[in-house]
Amino acid sequence: MNMVLPRFSVQKSLAWWPAVLLAALVCAAVFAPVLAPLDPDRQNLLGRLKVPGYESRGVTYWLGTDELGRDILSRLIYGARISISVAVLSVLLSGIVGVAVGMLAGYLRGWWETLLMRLVDIFLSIPAILLAIITVAVLGPGFFNVVIVLTLTRWPRYARVAYGQTLSVGKRPFVTLSQAMGGSVPRVLWVHILPNIIGPVLVVATLEFGLMVLFEAGLSFLGLGVQPPTASWGAMLSTGRNYVATAWWIATFPGLGLFLLVLSANLIGDRLSDTIGKGR
Amino acid sequence: MRLFLLNRLFQACTTAFGVLTLVFFIQRLTGDPTALLLPETATQEDFEAMRKTLGFDRPLIEQYLSFLGDMVQFDLGKSFIQNAPVAEILASRIPQTLQLAGGALVVAFAIGLPLGAIMALQRGKWISRWIMGFVLACQSMPTFWSGIMMIMVFGVWLKWLPPSGTGTLAHLVMPSIALGLLSLATYARITRSAVVDELGRDYIRSARARGVKTPRLVGKHLLRNSAIPVISITALEVSQLLAGAVIVETVFAWPGLGQLTVQSIASRDFAVVQAVVLLGAWVTIFANLLADILYSIIDPRVRLGTSL
């Protein structure tokens, strides 16, 4: 018995690693000014493209330097800020818009349903990254434009889920009762429908978070995201691509950061969907 | 059957029409699309001249109607930068992108399907957990990162494969894998859940009771019946692959539609960007329509509207 117990707790705590990893990355983003060893934008033209572990004048560049001699580790930590804040904002905004549209369509039915859900179909039939690219090309790059574009591109996904869920919840007795007692549309939606559909919406939101991180990095990679010199993982990768033969570390680390961030979000989303799926 | 087809066709047409409208208005989000077409050094006169030639000085509704008119005749316009019809420019790039998408589909199918089937058949065993981990990793991998890493390892260090460009089959290997990874994850998941669903059915139990051996059971009974969801997901994957190609083609300097899009944005060749977006949407709509029709042929319950 004594032999078994510790192994069990190790296994249980191991199951939490995606959450721990995600929390660590979020902390890195929030406390970037404290954690980053150097100014992420400080250039050192004498120390360009140095290997990880390079030391100069008492400063260690743990992950090496980029083509302008900036510290990769510091840029990585600051880059987490962009990835996470863009993803969080766009998930929130697209979630709010999408859920509102989906609930209205599923609850009001009739003309509203046809109109709104046709709109959803139209948005979903343009491959998301192409829609994002054309919109960003029109609006111009930049932090808030990327958030707006991602919101515009992704709200239909939530609308679909919220719509389907509302259809099934809307027929339940407590909804009919509230209607009969004169509950207004916003009240019924807010008090009775939303709490009952929020589970599946959250699952989508977690999975979408990972996707948003990838989209933001993809746009930055193409030069359409947050503009230099602001550190962003996608843009770092795009520089790193030009140095694959000479400086492997430039592209490797930001990509690893992206991979771990998205992986932890996806693992959490997967587990959430298992739990919520079982609960019903 | 005919009613179902007509209905679906009508829906596809309205969606295509909606996409046109959406793209038209997105381009006018900033008020004046002229700025998208001219280089930053253009003078005020250039702007006026461009506005006149393209008719941006006309009322919005008139512009919209003439835009629709052109599109109905499949006239995608002319590129001012490359001085050639947009349709011709696209046509010259389509074969490359098709090649890449085909390669990616092969990768996704050849690896995703068996992995999904193994996960379903070995449910709860360690092997299925490891495969699931692998699938999740594929899903979380930014294509531009896996692409760059492959170039570094196999192209630069080991020199097994050409790092970028096109021409031989060897050139196709890395881009196909990079693009195929995400679809691989989708196929593995869909196959897994389809096979799990089928495993629970009576015919499987009775076949087992008759003493049918597992390989035969899987090959003859299971996979055939699990095929429907896999077929229908392919329609959705086609548009995913088209979109993914934008990034993969940039990474590998692959001269397809994706690279064209990125180059056209850089050179402010908006007619081309718009055409690629429309093409992507039309392909998606058409693929969905096709999947629905196939679906209704395979499973009559779909067209009759009875619940599955």
pLDDT digits (tens, 9 = 90+) for B159-176: 888 887 777 888 888 999
What is the spatial distance between Cα B168 and Cα B243, in angstroms, rounded to a whole number? 24
What is the spatial distance between Cα A114 and Cα A112, in angstroms, rounded to a whole number? 6
| Helix or strand run (H / E) with residue A258 | helix A248-279
Q: Do B273 and A137 touch (CB under 8 A)?
A: yes
Q: Strands, DSSP E only, in chain B?
A: 78-79, 84-85
- Show which of residues 174-233 on chain B sit within 8 Å of chain A, judged by CB atoms: none
Beta-bridge partner residues of A61: A54
Are residues B279 and B89 in contact, defined by beta-carbon separation less than 8 angstroms?
no
- Closest Cβ opposite residue B142 in set A121, A138, A258: A258
B155 to chain A: which residues are within 8 Å by CB? Answer: 244
What is the spatial distance between Cα B45 and Cα A142, in angstroms, rounded to a whole number? 29
Q: What is the pLDDT of residues A191-200, one digit of tens each?
A: 888 998 888 8
3-state secondary structure A161-225: HHHHHHHHHCCCHHHHHHHHCCCCHHHHHHHHHHHHHHHHHHHHHHHHHHHHHHHHHHHHHCCCC
What is the spatial distance between Cα B199 and Cα B194, in angstroms, rounded to a whole number? 9
- The nearest CA of chain A is from the CA of B216 a distance in Å of 31
- The nearest CA of chain A is from the CA of B153 a distance in Å of 9
- Percentage of the residues of chain A whose pLDDT score is greater than 90: 29
The residue-averaged pLDDT of A233-252 equals 87
Q: Do A259 and B140 touch (CB under 8 A)?
A: yes
Q: Do B145 and A267 touch (CB under 8 A)?
A: no
The token pair that represents B73 in the structure block: 């005749």
For an interface test with A, the pick among B144, B186, B257 (most A C-beta atoms closer than 10 Å) comes out as B144
User: Which of B253, B259, B266, B268 minimizes the C-alpha distance to B90?
Assistant: B259
Q: Do B142 and A129 touch (CB under 8 A)?
A: no
The residue-averaged pLDDT of B45-74 equals 77
- Show which of residues 223-262 on chain A sit within 8 Å of chain B, judged by CB atoms: 223-224, 234, 237-238, 240-241, 244-245, 248, 251-252, 254-256, 258-259, 262
Helix (H/G/I), strand (E/B), else coil: B52: helix
- Top-confidence residue, A8 or B121: B121
What is the spatial distance between Cα B57 and Cα B59, in angstroms, rounded to a whole number? 7
Query: Rounded to the nearest 10 degrees, how much is the dihedral formed by the CA atoms of A112, A114, A117, A120?
Result: -100
Q: Do B156 and A244 touch (CB under 8 A)?
A: yes
The residue-averaged pLDDT of A109-122 equals 89
Q: What is the pLDDT of residues B90-112, one digit of tens each?
A: 889 999 999 999 999 999 999 99
pLDDT reported for residue A1: 44
What is the spatial distance between Cα A63 and Cα A65, in angstroms, rounded to a whole number? 7
Q: What is the amino acid identity at position B109?
A: F
pLDDT reported for residue B308: 40
Q: What is the amino acid identity at position B195?
A: V
B256 in reach of chain A (CB within 8 A): no
Q: Give domain status of residue A119, yes or no.
A: yes
Q: Give domain status of residue A10, yes or no.
A: no
What is the spatial distance between Cα A160 and Cα A188, in angstroms, rounded to a whole number? 19
Checking if the pLDDT of A7 tops 70, the result is no
Are residues B175 and B164 in contact, defined by beta-carbon separation less than 8 angstroms?
no
Q: Do A129 and B246 touch (CB under 8 A)?
A: yes
The token pair that represents A110 in the structure block: 């009739």
- B217 CB contacts (<8 Å, ≥6 apart)? B204, B207, B208
A vs B: CB pairs below 8 A: 141
The token pair that represents B148 in the structure block: 């760059």
Domain count, chain A: 1
A277 in reach of chain B (CB within 8 A): no
Burial per residue of A120-156, b for 16 or more beta-carbon CB atoms within 10 angstroms, e otherwise: bbbbbbbbbbbbbbbbbbbbebebebbbbbbbbbbbb
Which residue matches tokens 């709109």? A119
Q: Do B148 and A217 touch (CB under 8 A)?
A: no
Instruction: Look over chain B and give the mean of its residue pLDDT values, rounded to a whole number.
Output: 83
Q: Give domain status of residue A247, yes or no.
A: yes
Q: Give domain status of residue A8, yes or no.
A: no
Burial per residue of A171-191, b for 16 or more beta-carbon CB atoms within 10 angstroms, e otherwise: eeeebeebeeeebeeeebbee
Domain carrying residue A157: 20-276
Q: Do B22 and A126 touch (CB under 8 A)?
A: yes
Q: Do A263 and B36 touch (CB under 8 A)?
A: no
A256 to chain B: which residues are within 8 Å by CB? Answer: 145
- Residue of chain B minimizing CA distance to A217: B142
The residue-averaged pLDDT of A157-168 equals 90
Q: What is the pLDDT of residues B209-242, one digit of tens each?
A: 888 877 777 777 777 777 777 877 887 788 888 8
For an interface test with A, the pick among B20, B37, B140 (most A C-beta atoms closer than 10 Å) comes out as B140
A198 in reach of chain B (CB within 8 A): no
- Residue of chain A minimizing CA distance to B273: A134
Are residues B176 and B103 in contact, defined by beta-carbon separation less than 8 angstroms?
yes
pLDDT reported for residue A11: 63
Q: Do A248 and B152 touch (CB under 8 A)?
A: yes
Are residues A228 and A107 in contact, defined by beta-carbon separation less than 8 angstroms?
no
pLDDT reported for residue B303: 62
- CATH value at residue A113: 1.10.3720.10
User: Which of A30, A46, A82 minimizes the C-alpha distance to A235?
Assistant: A82
Q: Do B15 and A118 touch (CB under 8 A)?
A: yes
Q: Give domain status of residue A5, yes or no.
A: no
Q: Do B280 and A119 touch (CB under 8 A)?
A: no
- Residue of chain A minimizing CA distance to B267: A137
Are residues A232 and A242 in contact, defined by beta-carbon separation less than 8 angstroms?
no
Q: Do A259 and B14 touch (CB under 8 A)?
A: no
Q: Give domain status of residue A12, yes or no.
A: no
Q: Give domain status of residue A11, yes or no.
A: no
pTM above 0.90, yes or no: no
* Radius of gyration of chain A measured on its C-alpha atoms: 23
For an interface test with A, the pick among B126, B145, B274 (most A C-beta atoms closer than 10 Å) comes out as B145
Q: Give domain status of residue A14, yes or no.
A: no
A263 to chain B: which residues are within 8 Å by CB? Answer: 136-137, 140
Q: Do B261 and A133 touch (CB under 8 A)?
A: yes
What is the spatial distance between Cα B223 and Cα B192, in angstroms, rounded to a whole number? 11
What does chain B come to in residues? Answer: 308
